[in-house]
Structure 1
Amino acid sequence: MDFACLWLGLLLPLVAALDFSYHHQEEMEEFLKNVAQNYTSITHLHSIGKSVKGRNLWVLVVGRSPKEHRIGIPEFKYVANMHGDETVGRELLLHLIEYLVTNDGKDPEITSLINSTRIHIMPSMNPDGFEAVKKPDCFYTNGRENGNSYDLNRNFPDAFEVNNVVRQPETVAVMEWLKTETFVLSANLHGGALVASFPFDNGVPATGSLHSRSLTPDDDVFQHLANTYASRNLNMKKGDQCKNKMDFPNGITNGYSWYPLKGGMQDYNYIWAQCFEITLELSCCKYPREEKLLLFWDSNRASLIEYIKQVHLGLKGQVFDHKGNPLPNVIVEVQDRKHICPYKTNKFGEYYLLLLPGSYTLNVTAPGHAPHLTKVTIPKKSQDFSALKMDIPFPLKGQLDSIPVSSPSCPLGPLYSNLPSHSAATKPGLFLFLVTLFHILFK
């Protein structure tokens, strides 16, 4: 009898299947803790802070080394429910967690993804807002804001204009979290429309605002990322599924083209955290009836998985000095797409650049030394689950004793507003010249 019970136990799943209903804070915590306890080798559960009302902001990490970064393994994140009444993403991320852990070792694609990626999942950035909503509602409710009645997606520093709002505990927690990891790719999950929106959300003439758009130097990559998600969600791809809403060709849009937004999280990620983030609007109805949740999971599962895989686009590696020591805080950027806050190596000397196939010239720059240029070609068919790896020996003229681990960070305030306003500034040459000029000032 005992032997039979043992075998039965081995056959049963480690965690009871998650139902397709809404999970409030206690239920969500119980599920996350059960996953962490039953899949200890590939998961790590931690809180990055607390909400206004003291609720934990839980993050579950999935990967072969869930508790710490490993060199060469990129960091990816999903964040949902920053507007408390936009609920579909919250439940999708719980089901994504279940899907990942239960398919590890069974599904080759999921197993390879967990082998090669450290995946951070925050189901709810605004648990107070979610708990404030009394019943499902397709439109605006008080649960949109946090416990202090602040819209968290208007609460971050803005690169284009002054954003003198009081930083909220949830916002501060995310900003501090971004300092602890080398996040490469991210998406934040919303509701109320059906579209994949990419930066910038705000803009100035130098980024194209006079042409009703605001483009980053990496616009080709962002369009690819948005298309990757939307193309696998058939309803999103149609671009016109929400009544009385805009039509979005192929289900994607530039954020500013849709509507300008000051203090958004995706722009903050890209500018100050070196992390490419897009915003996924997943349902026409903000808080749909729970019987529709299974349909949303079926519509988004393939997109959620495929989007994670995009963290392996492009190029990665380490920068070393003449003695083979890794160099932190070295600027590594493509010559013609410099960022207004320069992208630098982390404390392990690592860099990650999301790039589409093609030929590029890398500009590697250390303080007090001449730039080092090196050419690289990213093949059309890259290795599965790995960016092209290229370590860079930095040829030094003179002695380099050390580069400070904490070099001055980019100012937390308007940056692009200092660029000259000019209607032609969206032409690649002038735009990149202006960004390069500002880049030199803040090296």
Structure 2
Amino acid sequence: MRMSRFGGRVKYVYLTCQMVLLWLLLLFVMNTVSVRGVQFRYHDHLALETTLRNFTETYPELTSLYSVGKSVQGEEMWVLVVGKHAARPAFLVPNVKYIANMHGNEVVGRELLLHLADHFLTQYGKNLTLTRFLETTRVHLMPTMNPDGFSRSRQGCNGVTGRGNAFGYDLNRNFPDSANQSPPPQQKEVTNVIKWIQATNFLLSANLHGGTLVVNYPFDSVPGDVNLQKYSQSPDDDVFRHLALTFSRSHPKMHKGFNCNDAFKQGIVNGAFWYPITGGMQDFMYRNASGYEVLIEMSCCKYPRESQLKGFWDTNRDPLVNFLFQAHMGVKGLVYGQSQYHSDLFDIVEGAIVQIKGREGIEFRSSAMGEYYKLLLPGNYTLLVSHPDYYPAVEHFTVISEKVTRRDVKLMRASGSSRGQGQGNGRSGNGDTSKGGPVVSRQEDSHNAASKLIFCPEGQQTRLMFQMASVLILSTLINLLILV
């Protein structure tokens, strides 16, 4: 009898230990593969949010999650920031962004941005090129600008069900445009994005669509005749063509130009030459927000089968990455202004107009942190910087291939009647503020306009509840062991 009881107890303890080990193994698996294994399937809004939160929980030092506001039907418009400086802006670290699912029934980009985030995060510290990029860039990813439209859309290559928002408005015809004499009422999703753009100094952007294979670049209409189908060249046409070609040439099919029963030379097209529109997001970004944006059509089918998503990722991964790399070309710097109270002190200047001679017409402005950026191809250029409170400055500089030129500018304060009678010397430096350089007041926190938008989740509910349940179960098992 004693041997029987003892043997039974040993067997019971053995089985219980097996259960504990299996549970611990399950915990380990759940915590290590929950994000790395982003599945090639369509994520509804709840699943999308869960995936984004998992990224922030698994990579807290490299990510930040916030919402720019809610859609008409109350869905959060989430943005995941990826990079070493994800938590807050840093001086001369450019912001770049991708927006997908602007048209609710064009869904490939929505899923690819989840895989792009996963790619960046899992390769950080392993791939030297990507690591360096993420240490010097803040990448903002908005998987869906139109969650309400997506919820109504249905699988299929054609049709318009779900294209518009909950009120049926096309969001890519809804941005402010002086050429539009009869603008539609501005939709909530567009208002949210405009406020976001105004709060964040985005240098380079793209919005992801579906229905063909091509990169479309500004302008989307001809000034003075918005219905004219004709090439509408912007002052930075060479830069936009370079950006578009960077994506198309990285794509195995797009650059060939004959896809989806369409023909586009080298896989790129000027917006107005293709078909003119007003109220588009890319023209708004370029004209009003000191940034460069293109529209990327990345799939012949708007809402393809899930089984095709892996193929779309394989063909678009390198183009998506290479396009963002272009944020590090041209010229960048800080604009300083002579103090009103002490002539030897200089502070950063917000709102200075920054232009390149020969490319006037589009005014880029220095940010709240005093930064300016201009994307430029290799060559010699003249920088023109002006502000109502200072004498204008002129700087000459050279851009070389695959590098960004640093050129800081000092503006001398204009005073009284002498203002405008001469030109300041506009001295610059290479970021060296030691002897002979400007004394700069750098108040990063006070200039972090984007911080007002950052969403900070209270706790990490999903994982916390899971771990609490695990503790309770383990405690129960331990108590049973003690009792026997």
TM-score normalised by length of structure 1: 0.84
Decide whether the 8 Å contact of 2:65 with 2:78 is kept in 1: yes
Would the alpha carbon gap of residues 300 and 71 (structure 1) be closer, same or farther in structure 2, given more than 3 Å must change?
same
Would the alpha carbon gap of residues 286 and 9 (structure 1) be closer, same or farther in structure 2, given more than 3 Å must change?
closer
Report what 1:270 is aligned to: 286
Would the alpha carbon gap of residues 54 and 255 (structure 1) be closer, same or farther in structure 2, given more than 3 Å must change?
same
Tell me by how many angstroms 1:236 deviates. Answer: 0.8
SS of the equivalent of 1:44 reads strand
- Does residue 1:357 correspond to 2:375, yes or no? no
What one-letter code is carried by the residue in structure 1 that aligns with 2:95?
A: E
Q: How does 1:426-437 map to 2 (within 5 A)?
A: none
Report what 1:127 is aligned to: 147
SS of the equivalent of 1:325 reads strand
Would the alpha carbon gap of residues 8 and 57 (structure 1) be closer, same or farther in structure 2, given more than 3 Å must change?
closer
Q: Which whole-Å CA distance do the structure 1 matches of 2:276 and 2:391 have between them?
A: 39
Report what 1:410 is aligned to: none
Query: Which structure is higher in RCO with an 8 Å CA cutoff and minimum separation 6?
Result: 1
Report what 2:337 is aligned to: 321
Find the partner of 1:377 among 398, 419, 422.
398
Q: Structure 2: which 5+ residue stretches go unaligned?
A: 1-16, 339-344, 420-445, 448-484
Q: Which whole-Å CA distance do the structure 1 matches of 2:62 and 2:32 have between them?
A: 19
Tell me by how many angstroms 1:146 deviates. Answer: 0.4
- Does residue 1:114 correspond to 2:134, yes or no? yes
SS of the equivalent of 2:35 reads coil
Q: Choose 1 or 2 for highest CA Rg.
A: 2
Q: Which whole-Å CA distance do the structure 2 matches of 1:216 and 1:160 have between them?
A: 15
- Does residue 1:15 correspond to 2:32, yes or no? no
- Does residue 1:144 correspond to 2:167, yes or no? no
SS of the equivalent of 1:287 reads coil
Moved more, 359-368 or 265-274: 359-368
Residue by residue over 1:312-351, the C-alpha shift from the partner in whole angstroms, topping out at 9 and shown as x without a partner, is 11011101124221111111110211234x2111122111
Tell me by how many angstroms 1:16 deviates. Answer: 4.5
Q: Which whole-Å CA distance do the structure 2 matches of 1:96 and 1:5 have between them?
A: 29
- Does residue 1:216 correspond to 2:216, yes or no? no
- Does residue 1:330 correspond to 2:365, yes or no? no
Decide whether the 8 Å contact of 1:157 with 1:163 is kept in 2: no
Q: Which whole-Å CA distance do the structure 2 matches of 1:314 and 1:351 have between them?
A: 11
Q: Which whole-Å CA distance do the structure 1 matches of 2:333 and 2:36 have between them?
A: 40
Report what 1:42 is aligned to: 62
Q: How does 1:302-313 map to 2 (within 5 A)?
A: 302-313=318-329
- Does residue 1:344 correspond to 2:365, yes or no? yes
Runs of 4+ in 1 over 3 A off after TM superposition: 4-14, 395-400
Decide whether the 8 Å contact of 1:163 with 1:262 is kept in 2: no
SS of the equivalent of 1:142 reads coil
Report what 2:174 is aligned to: 155
Decide whether the 8 Å contact of 2:107 with 2:303 is kept in 1: yes
Residue by residue over 1:229-256, the C-alpha shift from the partner in whole angstroms, topping out at 9 and shown as x without a partner, is 000101111111112x3x1011000011
- Does residue 1:250 correspond to 2:271, yes or no? no
SS of the equivalent of 2:349 reads coil
Would the alpha carbon gap of residues 319 and 129 (structure 1) be closer, same or farther in structure 2, given more than 3 Å must change?
same
Report what 2:275 is aligned to: 259
Moved more, 51-60 or 373-382: 373-382
Tell me by how many angstroms 1:358 deviates. Answer: 0.6
What one-letter code is carried by the residue in structure 1 that aligns with 2:230?
A: S
Q: Which whole-Å CA distance do the structure 1 matches of 2:237 and 2:93 have between them?
A: 24
Report what 1:394 is aligned to: 411
RMSD of Structure 2 on Structure 1 (CA)? 2.4
Q: Which whole-Å CA distance do the structure 2 matches of 1:156 and 1:256 have between them?
A: 16
SS of the equivalent of 2:168 reads coil
Q: Which whole-Å CA distance do the structure 1 matches of 2:414 and 2:385 have between them?
A: 14
Q: Percent identity?
A: 41
Tell me by how many angstroms 1:108 deviates. Answer: 1.0
Would the alpha carbon gap of residues 14 and 51 (structure 1) be closer, same or farther in structure 2, given more than 3 Å must change?
same
What one-letter code is carried by the residue in structure 2 that aligns with 1:87?
A: V
Would the alpha carbon gap of residues 141 and 11 (structure 1) be closer, same or farther in structure 2, given more than 3 Å must change?
closer
Q: Which whole-Å CA distance do the structure 1 matches of 2:405 and 2:36 have between them?
A: 39
Report what 1:196 is aligned to: 215
SS of the equivalent of 2:103 reads coil
SS of the equivalent of 1:271 reads helix
Q: Which whole-Å CA distance do the structure 1 matches of 2:349 and 2:161 have between them?
A: 48
What one-letter code is carried by the residue in structure 2 that aligns with 1:367?
A: P
Tell me by how many angstroms 1:104 deviates. Answer: 1.0
Find the partner of 1:79 among 85, 89, 99.
99
Residue by residue over 1:163-191, the C-alpha shift from the partner in whole angstroms, topping out at 9 and shown as x without a partner, is 42111110000000011111000000000
